[in-house]
């Protein structure tokens, strides 16, 4: 026992509520951090954590896995939708053939009523079908040409030529000289 000791421990002299703070008080009021007791350097404790190469690699791998999962999910969805599109295209084709056949039958009957001969009615309907097919192919051909964007391609090629060749005749392209 020392000169200032009364022989009573501090926990016995103080009430329990004062000697030991409750869990709520410890959670709401942070106590002072003693750098000597924690063994941490106060300067490094204040500095934010800088990611290292391992963190970057871990994040890159996680990103790659997420990307692969996304691609796999989209590929599965595309496979299902491709099947549905093919089935729908076949159904549209069947409906179109039925529609054309019924229109041809009505046209053949009308031509038979007008001329009184089945042979002339059927041949006239077949000729009408061939003419309509040729017109449709001609239209598709003109529509196909616009899909290649000819005016845009010409504008881009003019832009490329004006960019590559400078006014002094030398190319602006670092890869080669004219």
Which residue range(s) make up the domain with 85? 55-164
Residue 31 DSSP code: P
**Domain membership flag for residue 3:** no
**Domain membership flag for residue 116:** yes
**Domain membership flag for residue 83:** yes
**Domain membership flag for residue 50:** no
**Domain membership flag for residue 41:** no
**Domain membership flag for residue 82:** yes
CA distance linking residue 54 with residue 44, whole number of Å: 20
* φ, ψ dihedrals at 31, nearest 5°: -85, 165
Question: Which residues lie below 8 Å from residue 74, measured CB to CB, with a gap of 6+?
Answer: none
**Domain membership flag for residue 101:** yes
32's tokens: 């002072």
Contact assessment for residue 84 and residue 105, using Cβ atoms and an 8 Å cutoff? no
Show pLDDT as tens, one digit a residue, over the chain (178 residues): 445 555 544 444 444 444 444 544 444 555 555 545 555 555 555 555 666 888 899 999 999 999 999 999 998 888 899 999 999 999 999 999 999 999 999 999 999 999 999 999 999 999 999 999 999 999 998 888 777 777 788 888 888 887 666 566 665 555 555 4
**Domain membership flag for residue 103:** yes
CA distance linking residue 49 with residue 133, whole number of Å: 72
- Number of structural domains (the chain) is 1
């Amino acid at each position: 026992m020392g000169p200032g000791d009364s022989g009573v421990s501090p926990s016995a002299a103080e009430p329990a509520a004062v000697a030991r703070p409750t869990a709520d008080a410890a959670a709401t009021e942070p106590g002072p951090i003693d750098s000597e007791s924690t063994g941490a350097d106060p300067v490094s404790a204040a500095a934010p954590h800088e990611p290292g190469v391992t963190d970057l690699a871990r994040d890159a791998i996680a990103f790659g896995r997420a990307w692969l999962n996304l691609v796999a999910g989209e590929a599965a969805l595309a496979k299902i939708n491709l099947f549905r599109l093919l089935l729908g295209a076949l159904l549209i084709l069947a409906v179109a053939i039925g529609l054309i056949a019924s229109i041809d039958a009505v046209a053949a009957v009308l031509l038979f009523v007008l001329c009184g001969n089945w042979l002339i009615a059927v041949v006239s309907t077949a000729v009408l079908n061939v003419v309509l097919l040729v017109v449709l192919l001609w239209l598709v051909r003109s529509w196909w040409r616009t899909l290649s964007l000819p005016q845009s391609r010409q504008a881009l090629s003019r832009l490329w030529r004006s960019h590559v060749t400078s006014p002094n005749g030398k190319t602006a392209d670092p890869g080669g000289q004219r």
